Amino acid sequence: METKKFEDLNKGDQIKADLYSRPNAMNGKYRAAQIGLDDLAGIKSKDIFFLETLKVRADSADKMIAEAESQGKDTKDPEVIKELGEEINALGKPIHRSESVMTAIMNTIRLMITYGITIGIWGLVFKKSFLTFGLYGTIAGLLISLLFIAPVTVSQRTKERIKDTSFGASLMLVTPVIYIGIAGLVVWIIRLIFFN
């Protein structure tokens, strides 16, 4: 078997080599902590985003293990390392890039539909075409998502961060538009009943 120099490896293999060569990987602390850094064989070297996320996780684990050791805790004790593993896992579950991209796409579609329907309703209020105004709303939703939501969502590296980002975007950009749409519906119904 031919051995390669570190510099000759692709970026993904370099990250794997770094993770495997860390003292806490070699002494079995990652495995004992059950933080998902002990078996990287199933991860493709081209999945750089995920491997970089694991590298950040390893950095956090190394820091937390060193901190525990500086406080006099015996990290060779299975109970202590398991407790540390729970703290490390609480930082969030790493995700693949495809999950963050799919979440960004779903957020974009939701925003486009919400804006399209809301602005379409206001088109009816002003006795214009629902479809034309709806198209304008859909385009506005797409632009807002592409400028503000999608880039932030795609850059997230844990499931928890993706959920928080989606919730925040929904709270700031979807909920108020729903209220505006409901107000438009009320105005349209009043117009139909009293002014038609």
Neighbours of 58 (CB within 10 A): 21
Tens digits of per-residue pLDDT, 137-161? 999 999 999 999 999 999 888 888 8
Per DSSP, 9 falls in state: S
Determine the average pLDDT of the residues in 1-13: 73
Contact 74, 80 (CB under 8 A): yes
Q: What are 93-138's pLDDT values in tens digits?
A: 788 888 889 999 999 999 999 999 999 999 999 999 999 999 999 9
User: Average pLDDT for residues 76-82, to the nearest whole number?
Assistant: 86
DSSP per residue over 125-139, as a string? HTTS-HHHHHHHHHH
Q: How large is the C-alpha radius of gyration of the chain?
A: 25
At residue 49, φ and ψ (nearest 5 deg) are -55, -50
Percent residues over pLDDT 70 in the chain: 96
**For the whole model, what pTM was predicted?**
0.70
What whole-number distance in Å separates Cα of residue 21 and Cα of residue 38? 11
Give the pLDDT mean for 1-11.
71
pLDDT for residue 151: 94
Give pLDDT, residue 140: 96
Distance CA 160, CA 101 (A): 15
pLDDT at 5 over 80: no
* CA separation for the pair 192, 169 (Å, rounded): 34
Residue 172 is classified by DSSP as I
**Exposure on the CB side of residue 191, measured as CA atoms within 13 A:** 13
Supply φ then ψ for residue 158, to 5 degrees. Answer: -130, 155
* pLDDT at res. 1: 52
Strand ranges, E, within the chain: none
